[in-house]
């Protein structure tokens, strides 16, 4: 989901509570806070020696230990007002991918992308998912697209592949 799409979704649902599903069936606790918004500029070189760059918006969620047991989730209105305030201080790249950074004692801290959203009565649920790693230089490295499933279990660039 792009930053503009998220802000529009929030703007259109200000009367709802904002919930996050970080893995199927598991919600970020109602005691979460938005603690940081990162305007990330990525400048990378892949294993095929190709350079690339892009921007990301990373919104950090944190569960306050002093509010465990809280049952009322943050309102979309409040979340939007936080994000709008950040946008007035440092402009967003509205075309950048938005990710949520989250972790707890049962789930390692990760940057999760918005996979989908659902509206359930008075709740807006953002369904988050992990991004799998990938070899971006498959053609350069001589790795057929069908090898993608195999690369999930092993490395994409072997010593004899000519990349890396």
Report d(CA 4, CA 10) in Å as an integer. Answer: 10
Q: Give residue-wise pLDDT tens across range 79-120.
A: 999 999 999 999 999 999 999 999 999 999 999 999 999 999
Report d(CA 160, CA 112) in Å as an integer. Answer: 33
The mean-pLDDT minimum among 27-31, 49-53, 76-80, 124-128 falls in: 49-53
| Residue 140 Ramachandran class (φ > 0 left, ψ -120 to 50 alpha, else beta) | alpha
Domain span at 58: 3-131
> Do 122 and 140 fall into the same domain?
no
Report d(CA 56, CA 2) in Å as an integer. Answer: 9
> Do 33 and 108 fall into the same domain?
yes
Exposed / middle / buried, residue 20 (Cβ in 10 Å: 0-12, 13-18, 19+): buried
> Do 158 and 105 fall into the same domain?
no
pTM, two decimals, is 0.84
> Do 83 and 118 fall into the same domain?
yes
> Do 154 and 93 fall into the same domain?
no
């Amino acid at each position: 989901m792009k930053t503009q799409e998220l802000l529009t979704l929030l703007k259109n649902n200000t009367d709802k509570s904002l919930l996050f599903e970080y893995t199927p069936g598991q919600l970020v606790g109602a005691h979460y806070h938005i603690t940081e918004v990162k305007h990330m500029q990525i400048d990378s070189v892949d294993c095929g020696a190709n350079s690339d760059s892009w921007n990301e918006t990373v919104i950090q969620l944190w569960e306050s230990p002093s509010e465990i047991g809280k049952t009322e989730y943050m309102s979309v209105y409040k979340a939007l007002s936080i994000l709008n305030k950040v946008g007035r201080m440092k402009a967003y790249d509205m075309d950048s991918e938005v990710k949520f950074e989250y972790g707890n004692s049962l789930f390692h801290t990760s940057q999760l992308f918005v996979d989908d959203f659902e509206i359930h009565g008075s709740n807006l649920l953002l369904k988050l998912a992990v991004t799998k790693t990938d070899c971006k230089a498959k053609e350069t490295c001589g790795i057929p697209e069908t090898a993608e499933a195999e690369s999930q279990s092993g490395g994409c660039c072997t010593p004899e592949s000519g990349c890396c």
